[in-house]
Amino acid sequence: MRSLKLSLLFLALSFGAITHAQTADEVINKHIDAIGGKEKIKGINSIATEGVISVMGNEAPVTITILNGKGFKSEVDFNGQKIVQALTDKEGWSINPMAGSSDAQKIPDEQYQASKDQLFVGGPLFDYASKGYKVNLAGRDTVGNVNAYKLTVSGGDNNTATYYIDPNTYYIVKMVRNINMNGQEGEIATTFSDYKKTDYGYVIPYSTEITMPQGFTLSSTVKKVDINKEVDPKIFEMPK
């Protein structure tokens, strides 16, 4: 009988340990600590990265500039043809000569809503409530060999995404976003790896792979990171 009671007590304590630290906020707080901590992230005004993007065996240089909460801009140079995507806190625009036009085009609002979390240093999980997001811990799911925490993030205009966080490192290993392109529902899956601490102390993934709904895949590698360099807000404005 004593042995049975001890076994039941052990199970109760074990269950308590399993259920503890499984709220969304506790997982997010550990994630924030893992990538540098609140104070480090709050001290970041801008991030500029240089790297290489690979699409169907073709490589091209890519630069990404973020002015926290105000602007995001990526530029890819394919043999002299620049593909640009830019976001502000009000709208988004792009230039894609490979689509037949070298003029800046405003992106559809649904695409803007699905992309605007790129404006924020630390991503949508950092200080998520103030950005208008809601987060729910939806258990765990397997990503590769990781039994990851699964967090669903929702905002306005049916903007939803799912983040998978490694319980050992508390880094994001995968993000899946639901999108609507030309009336067609689909998913964009992004996997993150090769996390490194920058000189500033902020940790970012140096390798990223994006899989589009049609199975189209592109990967990118970060080569250089500048934090808090001077950024002119005008670079995010849509050309007239």
Please state the separation of Cα 124 from the chain's center in Å: 8
Mean pLDDT in residue range 53-62: 91
- Quote the pLDDT of residue 183: 63
Quick one: CA dihedral 236, 85, 196, 136, positive or negative?
A: positive
Q: Would you kindly state where each structural domain of the chain is located, as residue ranges?
A: 23-236
Quote the CA–CA distance of 132 and 135 in Å, as a whole number. Answer: 10
Quote the CA–CA distance of 204 and 225 in Å, as a whole number. Answer: 10
**What does CATH list as the number for 23-236?**
2.50.20.10
- Quote the pLDDT of residue 9: 44
pLDDT band at 58 (very low <50, low <70, confident <90, very high): confident
Q: What is the pLDDT of residues 179-206, one digit of tens each?
A: 766 666 778 899 999 999 999 999 999 9
pLDDT band at 87 (very low <50, low <70, confident <90, very high): very high
